[in-house]
Structure formats: structure tokens, C-alpha cells
Structure 1
């Protein structure tokens, strides 16, 4: 039986750990074991009270006095339950309970049986030294009662209560250690979760800063290339056009027009060079199929997830913009598998025809609920589903689309498709 929780002024650290209804939070930190111990101790007191009542009346004690004193004792014990919830008055409550027990012993010596619950309470409520001293005083009363009644005692009448006192103190101290260890374990678990959340937040922030730095660096490079190449070419064309318009000499006009043609050709070549620099490096050799093989092999090596490429049909030559869009889609899908899916394997299937090209990424991971991914608008790239929505937008701009199938525990299938345009009209196809 636990004792009232003492957490008010003057309470010892030891006394704050347990009570008749347990310490606050004990249900979560000590679990079912502490709960069953507590109810077992309540049942023990009830059983001992019934035994004391029966034996006392049978031994000749006044029934009214025995019943009245026992009811007061039990009622005061029950008062400890709300006191424990409020965290007040544990030590004072125990002293009053001990005095009531003393009155019971005066009514009938059979009531010494209730000393065992008092020893349990002393072990819970008091520090080790104080609990032992109080328990010894209770033991003295138990041993001295036969002397008061019959003028003598026996070895069994002394050694039995002594063993009971030691056992009771041991049980109470063990339960205290159980609760204390549970509290410490819960604190460590909470600290671990907090550290994990902080690490995840720092990782997200680092990734965001890296993306921002990469975007800034790329914008700086592009602006420099455009300024030094294309913009300067347009400036030259503009000056030549103005000079040709003001020139009256036909021969000179033809020369200026020739210069205009040359400058325009150089500007076109420069613009193609800048656009070509935007293409992923994986597309430098072998086109889309080879790029997907390299990306998938790199993903498998870095993540440990089994990955393979399945190609059906014939993959026709497609514009660079189509290759870039599909490669970026696969890279994003594999990144999602690596980050979220907890998958063991992933298959990238490529199906081409003269009309369209389709790429599916299928994993056997944990899946997720896709109810609102197509309708909810993300507020930032860190918001869930941003990558999928950005990919879908890019594909739609090229005349294609994106489909997603998933459910918790059933893996995920992401499908992207694009039409195969006449690459001759694009001007930059593979």
C-alpha cells in the first residue's frame, strides 16, 4: 500500500515519490506493476482489518468499540487518497493514522496485525533512517502488547513481527526504486524525442540554407553569363541596327546587315550554350536511359535500398526539356523514397512509344495518405508534398502529367508521362 504523495513545503524528496494512489504520472512511468502493487496493498489492509475485527470480537472485545475504532482508522486511511492527488499533508496524515492504530491496540491486542500496513507506509513516506526508527517503535508496541496482556512473551512473538517489519520496509523501498527508475526512464525518453525533433529541425534548416545558397549561386552564374554574352550581343545588334537605319550608303548598309546577321548568329549560339548549361550533368552522356541508370545506381549505393531499371518498348529521341523534366522527376521520387518511404526496394520503369514516354517509380515502403496532396497548396518548399506538386506543374507545362497511388502500409506508385513531340521543331533534342 502506497502512502499519500507529499510535495508541499517541508516534504522530503523521498516522500514525494509515492502515495496510496501513486505519484503523479506513475501510471506512465511505472506501468501496470506499480498499479497492481498499490491495489494489492489496499486489499491487504482490507483483509487485515476484517481479520482484526473477527478476532477481536471473538476474543471478547466490545463490538461497538472495535467497530467504531476500526471504522475511524479505515476512514482516515481513505482520506489519504485525495490527499495524495493534491500532494499535501503526507507526514501528518501518517502520524494520525499511527495514533489511531494505537487506540485500536488498546481496544484489542488483536489489532496489532495492522502493523504491517503501517510499516509499508513508513517505508514510503519517510526517509530511510526516519522510516526505520518509526517502524522500530511500532515493533516495540507489537512485541510489548502480549507482555501487557498476559505478563510474558515468546521467541516467536518477537521474531515474527521483526521479520514482518523487515519485509515490509524492503517491499516499500523496492516499490520506491521502481517508481524512481520509471520517472528517470520517462525523462530520458522525453529528452531523446526532444533531441530527435531538434536534430530534424536543424537538418531541415541546413537543407533549406543549402538550397537557397545553391539557387543564389546559380542565379549569379546565369546573370553573369547572360550579361557578358547574350546581353552584350543584343547591345551590339541594337547599335548596328540604328547605324544601318541612319546610313544612306547602300554598300555600307549591306555591310551593317552582314554584321547584324553575324551578331544574331553569335547571340543564338550563346543562348543555346547557356540553355545547355542548365541541363543536368547526368544527361551529358548516353541520353535519358543512361542517365536514369546512373541516378538509380547512385541511389542504391548511397541509400542501401535495392533499385533497378525496367525498360519496355522503345525510347524515342526526345527534346532536352523532356529529358530534364523526367530526370528531375525520378531524382525527386527517389529522394522521397530515401527520406520517407522506409522501403526495401524500388523499381523505375521506362515505357516509350512514338506518341508518349512514361516513367513509373514504385517502392514497397510504408506508403501514406494521398487524400489532399492534389488540392492542398503548400506555403513553402518545406511544406509536405511541395516536390511532387512542383514536378506535376513542370510536367503539365510540357503537356504531360503526374499520378500518385499510395496508402499506409501499401507502398507508393508515382507515374509521370510526357508526349513525344517532333524533336526537329524543338531545336535542341537528343
Structure 2
């Protein structure tokens, strides 16, 4: 926008400036014809040359419209205009108004190597006009002509240098503006792409959050409600085959406790709270009760042990270890056919380790891995729980030699 205004002004001056200067020179020469000693012949010749200058300017304008910039034809027209202006200035110095056109058109119409020669020719014409006209009369005027010519050439060189520097700065500025425009365009495109990517990431994050919540609820249901229902069914089966009313009542009470416990777990799972067993007790006591109730329910001899200095753990760590213990005990009840189970909670510096061992049938971990991944929340579920809090899970088992599940997680204290 700022460069367009000067360019439009220069285009208008290039089109109408020579005509205005020619007219100014003709009027000044006509008014000064008698003082400078123009006779009829000189007046007639100047009139013919002014008409020729007008025709030449018209041809020049048509050439520039067809082929802007320096060219051989442009060089010829420049030399013809200079020669016309030189003769007119010889006849009357006031025609220098027209001859000065060569100063500001040389850099536009001439090739770079001919700019200074063209300016020199114009300076010769202007210097002759400034000392009183051609030819200078006497040594003093010739000396004055040479002095004025030298001054004109110095001024021309200085202003030409300034013009070239200004043109170079303008080109650099134009390049900078163009680069900024390209950068702004690229930035706008990047912002649009980032906005689209941000929206996409929000959608993916929302979908991932929904999927993670579904997995959490599925794991909670599997580890709590499903196991509770399994225990209830087992107790009811015992009731169905009970030999007397007292035995049936005992197992019904156990089934009732399991039902209430499962209901509490379901409510807490929905609200993402800690397991029921951790509502009033710390992890060691909750594990002790869980192991004891499991042994009483299954009839398997179960033992719980704590080693190290007991620490108050963060709720997430306690809940994770309790769920892993419940799943390991559930697997032992369903698959191990064990006679003894040992659960050990170890506080070791900056780690907590939970070990669940049984003397049951055992299995081949490598062969069981694909089945576990396809089947639900067994070993993979326990491993995912441990990894969710930067822990790990290891399983050691061999057919006929029992199973050991070991979960190792960071010891994160509860600072409340």
C-alpha cells in the first residue's frame, strides 16, 4: 500500500512530465526570444524542433506502453531527445526546461552501463545553459562551463548513488514485506491446522477418557461385584445341600454379608471411591480381613503377613494393591485347587511389595498369556493396575508346583 502511491505518482510524472517541461521551455523561450537575440530563422527552427520533440515524445510513450524498461529503441530515442534538447538550448538557454528531462529518465530508459554517459550528456547541455547559452564566449565562460559541468557531474553522481541505495532499500523492504506476508500466511495456516488438531485431540482425549472409565468400571465390577456374586452363589449352593437348618442359616448369613459388601463396592465403584475394606481401615488391616474372609469362605488355609515398617499409603496405592490381592485370591479359588495360600505385604524403603503364593496346580505363564489377554481381567488386569501407578507385576508358576504373584509399586505416602 505504501509503495503503490509513489509508483502511481512516478507513472503519472513519466507520462505527463516531459510534455509539461516541453511546454514550459517553449513558453519561456518565446517570452525571452528578443532579449536573447533570436531572429526569425532561429524562431522557425525552434518551432520545428519543438514539434519534432512532441512527435518523439509520443513515440516514446507508445514504446513504453508496449515494452517498459531499457531497450535499444529506448537508447536511440534518448539520444535523439538529448540532441534535440541540446540544439534547442543552443538556440535559447531557456529550453533547458525541456533538456532537464534526461536527468530523471536515464536510470529508467537506459541500460545500467549507459546511465552515467547519458547523465553526462544531459549535464553538458545543462551546464551550457547555466553559463548563458551555447557556445560559451571567451576563456572565462569556457572555464565557467567546465566548472559548472564538474559541479553538475558531482551532484549527478551523488544523487545517482543515493537513488541506487534507496532503490536497493526499497527492494529489500519489498522482499521483507513479501516474506512477512508469506510467513503470516503460513502462520495463519498453521494456526488453522493447530485449531483443527486441538479439536481432534479434544475428541480423542474425550474418547480415551470414556474408554478408560469403561475399563475401570469393568475391572471394578470384575474384582468386586462378580467375585461377590460368585461367593454368594457358592454359599447358596451349600445352603441347598445343607444337612440341617443351623448350617443353612450360617451360610445364608455369609451370603447376606457378601451381598451387602458387593452393594457397597458397586456404589463406591460408580463414584470412583476406595474399596469398602479401606473405608475405615488401612491397607494391612484391610488385607488381613480380606484374606481371613476368603479363607473362611473357601475353606483354604490362608495366612497374611506384614514385613517392614508400616506406612500410611496413598489411597490409590492402597486400592491398587487390595484389588490385586482380591484378584489373585479369586484366581487361586477358581483355578489353583490349593490347600494353602500366603499373602505378604512388605514395606521396603521406597517400594511396597505384595506377594500372593499358593501350593496349587500351577500353570505355564507363557501358554496362559494369550488366553488371559483374550479372556478379561485376570493377570493382564492386575498388571495394568500396577503399571497405572508406575509399578510392575511378576508371575512365577509351574504346573504342579503352585503360583506366586508379586506386585511391586512405589511407596507413596498419604500426606493428609
**TM-score normalized with structure 1 length:** 0.44
When Rg is computed on C-alpha atoms for both structures, the one with the higher figure is 2
Higher relative contact order (CA 8 A, sep 6+): 1
